[in-house]
Structure 1
């Protein structure tokens, strides 16, 4: 049952992956408690196969800021179209890192202990953001504020909330949900929901 907040896409909507329903709301799905974080205390730690460094909130805000509008798709079968985010693009961040060429994957670490993995080709894309603003307003803490990753081409569990660091790896390794049965990549148009 879809309920009054969700609707099946009508007609030939190529923007909506198979098995998804549209919503105009922004459902909140979080495993574990929601941390309360002040922007000025946010740090992004770079580790693994990269030169170690820490980005403070102020350093991130001093980098060029980018705004993108795109669709997002949750593994729990909802999609929200035309969402607008502002933050630091991942390619901009990567320009300030010294990476070992052996790095092929990234483990995303978050305040609260959540992790998720991304291949480098899925991580270092123009549309991916470390986002602090949603629809022109500071990102609410239930949605990952003050800072979250947004990876719009994959299911939204890859868009980790409350990001605290990026660990660069030579081998793709599973994060929290991937260890618990979710797909290692999560392409919504291929319905890569669960590990076969």
Structure 2
């Protein structure tokens, strides 16, 4: 088990609930996932349209910058590659900014983003509001702040820009195996 737990982490039994703001109220009839920026095709997808994408089950470990790790989390949803295929990012799109309903945003390289998935269910049930309903990005190989809750948009960009926590001193990438918790600045 230790080989699954990065340095400085402790294993927890339940997935903690952490976020900087209140849980936003989302009207699923009005909610859309917007894909824009440096793409060949901008998209505005409804929840129902996302359910029609190839759905998969994902089991992964997640690691929080605050020092906890939850092993074997179970999610259902679709791979990020589905969004990439539909939107066709332009050659100069090297990064993404993932935006959330509460004003939160996090940055990722296109390479890191492409290794993630979008969760619509958790532990066999619809994603609960405190864990990001209706849509949560999960990027298991990075600290969990990169796994944005309540996702409303993915913006493809050319240059790296810091997101919410990155502009407040967190590391620009957040690799738990390298303990990239905070920036050097």
> Which ranges in structure 1 are unaligned for 5 or more consecutive residues?
1-11
Q: Which residue of 2 aligns with 1:40?
A: 29
1:85·1:134 contact (CA, 8 Å) conserved in 2?
yes
Q: Distance in 2 between matches of 1:111 and 1:122?
A: 22
Is contact 1:38-1:146 (8 Å) kept? no
The total of aligned residue pairs comes to: 183
- Is 1:79 aligned with 2:69? yes
Correspondent of 1:53 among 35, 43, 51: 43
Equivalent of residue 17 in structure 1, options 2, 6, 12: 6
Indicate yes or no: 2:134 matched with 1:146: yes
Is this contact kept in 2: 1:149–1:159, CA < 8 A? yes
CA shift for structure 1 position 141: 0.5
Check if 1:172 corresponds to 2:157.
Answer: no
1:42: Cα distance to partner?
2.4
Answering whether residue 176 of structure 2 is matched by residue 181 of structure 1, we say: no
- Using the TM superposition, give the Cα deviation of residue 98 of structure 1 relative to its aligned residue in structure 2, in angstroms: 2.4
Aligned to 2:17: 28
CA distance in 2, matches of 1:19, 1:120: 27
DSSP-derived class of the 1:45 partner: strand
1:52 to partner: Cα distance: 1.9
Larger Rg computed on CA atoms: 1
Alpha-carbon distance in structure 2 between the residues aligned to 1:18 and 1:143: 25
Query: What corresponds to 1:107 in structure 2?
Result: 97
Contact 1:110 1:160 (8 Å CA) reproduced: yes
Q: Deviations over 1:120-171 (max 9, x none)?
A: 010112xx21111011011110111121100000000000000000111101
* Aligned counterpart, 2:118: 130
Give the TM-score taking structure 1 as reference length: 0.90
